Structures are given as structure tokens and as C-alpha cells.
A and B are shown apart, each in its own frame.
Chain A
């Protein structure tokens, strides 16, 4: 018999709510927060862990399968009924008693063994196993991929990530409020503004502070500037995946010019350290509009080049397909989900964006081409959002506010934004001005299992292309 924890969470999924977070804490609590996209209400479900275990949700809610494995690795609690409880983050080098997110843990002495974990492989006649990574033949983040192949085609991909696991959530614990932002900023360079905004909103909402309208406008501009930067990067990488060097190099040049604008406007090429609780770095409207015009001049001919290239379209269409049913099943997010027809975009549920967000960009094919095209249209939508937000900035841009955070600020809150990769949520608990628990759930964490589905039945030579079309970052998954 399913218990109430399972039933409540299944009901949310059946009602097409979005799972923001599933968080375990060292006080033996387990909590999910769901967003209802039709009325933007959040619902919380909670349970207490007894006897070191809890009923697993993974069979009915595959999006929680990795969360529960992570909880098992970090706290040692067992999700009863989980279909695949192999370690996700922990490696054979971790001492068995080391559970990093339980309180009062000493930094471990790592065991002198290899970090590799057992792989899930297909066995049988004609199946070959190909291992790739963790180091790669280019400038790429580290990940370990175990392919089961039949001939040229992929039967199964077992992706072993978390090679880049630094221990960010544990690092954030016991920090005072002023020490959090420099760390949160650097979780992932591709989603930094989104992460910074989540932290800033968490503190502001716990204090009961409403940021000034100018601050909100600057945040919208920063979030969209980051989306453009990240999409330009991904749009540059996809042509590289098929050897379309002209499109690749020209997109990289466009990205470079955008980064120079960002450095000029905000003092950093990736917008690190720009959003803070209470205030946000600001840029003057005229310089912003100049930068937009400059990018637009390069964008239009580049778009013509890539859209009109039949060979390129031919290499992208039908490759790495995902269906809407798979997207829903895995709770996938962001560009990858919208490219298969899911309409959800967290901006629609963010109060900031009222009057700026004009509906999500979708496609239905769910292939490399669709993911490429969604990004094309989203860049143009972001340019428009920045333009209209810049048009509303006062001549005097808002200055750094004296924002006083009570020394003993306490409470728990979940905040979220649509990062360039999709729904990005933080679950923050403060006790007397100190971080008790900080959980980060990025969209890429939800999308990695989907990538394994998308590559099945494709030629292994297309893996780099499919991978680039998802462009899942490792750092905000691995943390």
C-alpha cells in the first residue's frame, strides 16, 4: 500500500505540477515543494524519516530517482523500493561512515582505491562496451560515459557524472549570510545570475523586503543577458558537432563580443557577483541599448547563414529525438523540454516578469534541430525583453541600497528562476543568521537521465552532436 507521502507526491505529478525540490535535511526531514503552473501556487509535502529509511517515490516519479540516490549517498538513509540504488556521487574512495550532509562530520581520509563505480551494461552477442572519459579530447567538463553498442548504434548509455563534485552544499552550511553569495555565484558559470538571484530572493523574502523597481528591472536584464550568453555558447557548439566551422567560429566571435559588452556594463564577462540580497549592479540604459544594437548587427547575418544551410539542417533533423511523453515522465526542463512541446517556462511563474514575458518558445520534433531552433528564438525574445526593460529604467539608475539583514534571520524558503538551462530551484534554511541547509536543484540534474534516452538508437558518432544540443553543464549537477 502506498503511504501518504507517496500518494501526495503522485497526485502533484498527475496534476502536471512541477517538482521544484526534494530536500532531505539533517533533522531527519524530507520535503518536496511543487509548483502549480496554472495558478503559481506552491505546495509542500513533508515527512519524518524513521529508522533510517523512507518510502521511495522513484518508480512512479522517475525524476526523483537521482534525488533519492543522492540522499542515500549524503545521509545514508535508504529509499525503500528504489529500483537502482547504486551510488550516484559517492565513490569507493569515500570511507563508509562518511555522510557529508549529516552534521558534525570530519573531512575524510580518502581511501587509496580507484574512484570508478560499477556500470550498467548490456550483455549479449555482438554488444561492445565503449568507455569514454572522465578526461576528454578537448575543452570539456569531466564526465564518464559507458556506452553499450551494437555495431555503430547506441543501445544504452550509462552516464557517470559527479566527477566534479566539490561538496558545495556542505561548504555552504554554517556560513553567515555575507559569506554565501561568493560561493553561490560560482556554482556554475553558465547559470550564475540565476543562482545569485535565487539566493538574493531567498534572503529578501525571509526579511520581508521588496526590492526597488529599478533593481527588479536590472535583474531581468541580467537574467536575460545570461540567457543570451549561454545560448550563444550552445549555438556555437552545435555546428561544431557537425564540422560546420564557419558557423561555429562566427558564433564564438559573437559570444566574445557579447562578453566584452557585459564586462563593460557590469564589470564581469560572466556576470559573477552582480546580484546581491537587497541590491543589484546596474548598467545605464543607453549603454545597454548600444550593446543590443551591436549584437543584433552580427546576429541577423549569422542567423541567415545557419537557417539557410540545408546540409546543416539535414544533420540535425531526426537526430537525438525525445518525445513529450519522455519529457513528462522524467520531469525534464528548459530548452530540451520545450523542444519536444512542453510549454512550461519558469518565467511565466515569476512575478518579476509580469509584462515582460510573452509566452514560451516551443517546437514539437524533440530533436537536435528543435533544440537549436528553440535557442534561436529565445535569443531574439531575450533581446526584446532587455530592450523593453532598459526602456523603463529611470535616467538615474538605482544605487546600492543600505539593506539591513537582521543578525538572527531564521526561516526556510524555496526560490526558483528559469536559468538558461531551465527550472533552477534553491531550498534555503537559515537559523539565527547562519545557513543550516542549502539545497540546489538545477535543470540539468533533471535532464541528464533524459539524454541517455535521447541517444539510444542513434549512431555513436552522433553522440557529441546530441550532447551539445542538450549542453548540460556538469558543475551545477555535480556541485
Chain B
């Protein structure tokens, strides 16, 4: 039976961020937003993860390492674009060494950087509107 998703175990990869998005991700883990109390956590290895958060416009040098982390995460899994750069609407899209963000994300968290409140709300909304079944939660 399919169940509502109650947790996300996230691996983070910086693919060319200005570090604003990282700092707000870190804020999410602090006591004011406390993502762990919502079942969300940042984990140390892609093998521990069921989701990937990407920040930055995807620089050419990080493109292959990023793909590799994504491949290493077991299925089912989701890809989250955190911030305008990763979504493909930031100011660095047209820089020569930028690939212009993610083409295939499942969740987009807009902002430059996203406000931690917005990020938390969007992640929680996504979890309550998705069910952990093989039909809706495989990439």
C-alpha cells in the first residue's frame, strides 16, 4: 500500500553556488527551522540518501562529479534544485563554464537564496502530496 512520504534523507552537492544557498541550507538544520523534526536530514553519503539537493548553476568541472553522486543514490530518489541558479533562472546561466542549472529536477525551491521558511514549506508540501509508491517516486 502506498504511504505518504514522511522523510527525506538528502545528500547535498554544490555545483557552483555563491555559498548563499549553502548557508541557508545550514540554517535549515539549526534550531529555528529544525528540519530533522520534519523528518528531513542532510546525510553524509549518497548511499544513505534518497534525494539530492543541488545548489549553483552546474559548472562544467562539477558536472561529472554531480552525475556520479546522483547515480550512487539508490532508487527511488528525487532531485531537488535549491535556488535560482540550480533551477536555471539565476544570473550565471550564461557564464561560459556554467551548464545553466538542472534540466531534470523533481522539486524546485526558488529564491536567491531561498528563504529557509520557503524551503521548509515546499519540502513538507511535496512530502504530503506524494506517496511512497513505485509509480510516483522513481526517477
Residue ranges of A at the interface with B (Cβ–Cβ < 8 Å): 91, 93, 100, 105, 107-108, 110, 114-115, 134-135, 137-142, 162-168, 170-171, 182-183, 186-190, 192, 233, 249, 252-253, 255-256, 259, 269-270, 272, 473-475, 478
Contact = CB atoms under 8 A, between A and B. Distances in A.
Interface in B59-115: 59-62, 64-66, 69, 90-92, 94-98, 112-113, 115
B125 interface: no
Which among A139, A166, A186, A256 has the highest number of chain B CB atoms within 10 Å?
A166
Given A165-B59, A186-B92, A252-B30, 16 more contacts: A115-B65, A142-B14, A162-B61, A163-B61, A163-B62, A164-B17, A166-B95, A167-B97, A170-B95, A183-B91, A189-B20, A252-B26, A256-B32, A269-B115, A270-B20, A270-B113
B8 interface: no
B15 to A, nearest CB: 7
A249 B30 CA distance: 6
Nearest to A257: B32
A139 B61 contact: no
A252 B31 contact: yes
Interface residues of B, number: 44
A253 B14 contact: no
B122 interface: no
26 contacts: A100-B96, A100-B97, A105-B96, A134-B65, A135-B13, A135-B14, A137-B45, A140-B22, A142-B13, A142-B14, A142-B15, A163-B61, A164-B56, A165-B16, A166-B57, A168-B95, A171-B95, A186-B90, A186-B112, A188-B18, A253-B31, A256-B32, A270-B20, A270-B23, A474-B14, A475-B16
B42 interface: yes
A163 B30 CA distance: 27
Contacts of A162: 61
Given A139-B25, A164-B59, A165-B97, A189 B18 contact: yes
Nearest to B99: A110
Given A138-B42, A166-B16, A270-B113, A233 B61 contact: no
A192 B23 CA distance: 14
A188 B22 CA distance: 11
A166 B32 CA distance: 32
B19 interface: yes
For the complex of A and B, list the 3 residue pairs with the smallest distance between their C-beta atoms, beginning with the closest.
A189-B20, A137-B44, A167-B95
